[in-house]
């Protein structure tokens, strides 16, 4: 029996289980987006105990590692869904990493980025495509 997965329609997804949400803000003429990990990923990882994100202020390429997430059982790298400048990290996660488990698409967001190549957004998966990917 397949569990019902929470996959919001307004987000874009990667094969590495990150999501991207365009916020409507702009920074120096570039779209600003939030990035986090999916509900599927946080369930696979289990209880998240620590996040290490030291890339704020860095210009990263799509696919680059922007940090890592530590769960009780494992540590996983976090990958940039698009190229861009890391504007900030979610400081709330320093004291409450479990927000990634309880609200992966809301309070559990990880970084805010200024997207440097908007064409990469179109290359990400839709909610339906991501759901199909993880249900295989």
* Residues 81-127: tens digit of each pLDDT: 999 999 999 999 999 999 999 999 999 999 999 999 999 999 999 99
Classify residue 125 by its DSSP letter: B
Residue 4: inside a domain: no
Note down the domain range covering 69.
Answer: 12-134
> Is 24 part of a structural domain of the chain?
yes
pTM of the shown model? 0.95
Total number of domains in the chain:
1
Q: Has residue 48 been placed in a domain?
A: yes
| Cβ-contact 38, 101 below 8 angstroms | no
Both structure tokens of 98: 């479990």
CATH of residue 50? 2.40.50.100
Whether 3 is covered by a domain: the verdict is no
5 is a domain residue: no
Please check whether residue 7 lies inside any domain of the structure.
Answer: no
Q: What 3-state DSSP class applies to 53?
A: coil
């Amino acid at each position: 029996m397949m569990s019902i997965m929470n996959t919001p329609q307004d987000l874009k997804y990667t094969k590495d289980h990150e999501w991207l949400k365009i916020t409507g803000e702009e920074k120096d003429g570039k779209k600003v987006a939030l990035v986090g990990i999916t509900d599927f990923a946080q369930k696979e990882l289990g209880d998240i105990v620590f996040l290490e994100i030291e890339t704020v202020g860095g210009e990263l390429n799509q696919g680059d590692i922007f940090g890592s997430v530590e769960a009780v059982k494992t540590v996983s790298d976090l990958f940039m869904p698009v190229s861009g400048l890391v504007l900030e990290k979610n400081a709330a996660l320093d004291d409450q990493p479990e927000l990634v488990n309880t609200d992966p698409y809301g309070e559990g967001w990880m970084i805010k980025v200024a997207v440097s190549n908007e064409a990469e957004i179109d290359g990400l998966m839709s909610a339906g495509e991501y759901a199909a990917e993880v249900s295989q």
